[in-house]
Amino acid sequence: MPVDIDIAKVAKLARLALSDEELAAYSTQLENILENAERVQALPTDGVEPTSHPLPMVNAFRDDVVEECLDRDSFLPSAPDTQDGQFRVPRILGE
């Protein structure tokens, strides 16, 4: 499968504001790295189950009970901007 990267789209999906020069440089590097992945793609894997987790584990359940959690005053001061005990962000919608 030929490597064909719409790097501007990928950067937008990743929420990375990169310049055209940066995008071009990363695009070349990604193509080189993905060429190495061709060996992996060529391996016959019909009928092979994917592994998402190295050990056979099932869901870890716990009782659904109210517990103490972090005090808001312990982490809000390290936020870039807050107001009335909440995180503050710029406007959500564009012009």
User: Scanning residues 23 to 42, which ones bind another protein (CB under 8 A)?
Assistant: 26, 29-30, 32-34, 36-37, 39-41
Q: Cβ of residue 85: shortest distance to another protein, in angstroms? A: 13
Q: Could you say which of 20, 21, 43, 68 contacts another protein (CB under 8 A)?
A: 43
Q: Does the protein bind another protein through residue 86 (CB under 8 A)?
A: no
Q: Does the protein bind another protein through residue 85 (CB under 8 A)?
A: no
Q: What DSSP assignment string belongs to the chain?
A: ------HHHHHHHTT----HHHHHHHHHHHHHHHHHTHHHHHS--TTPPP-SSSS----------------HHHHGGGSS-EETTEE----SS--
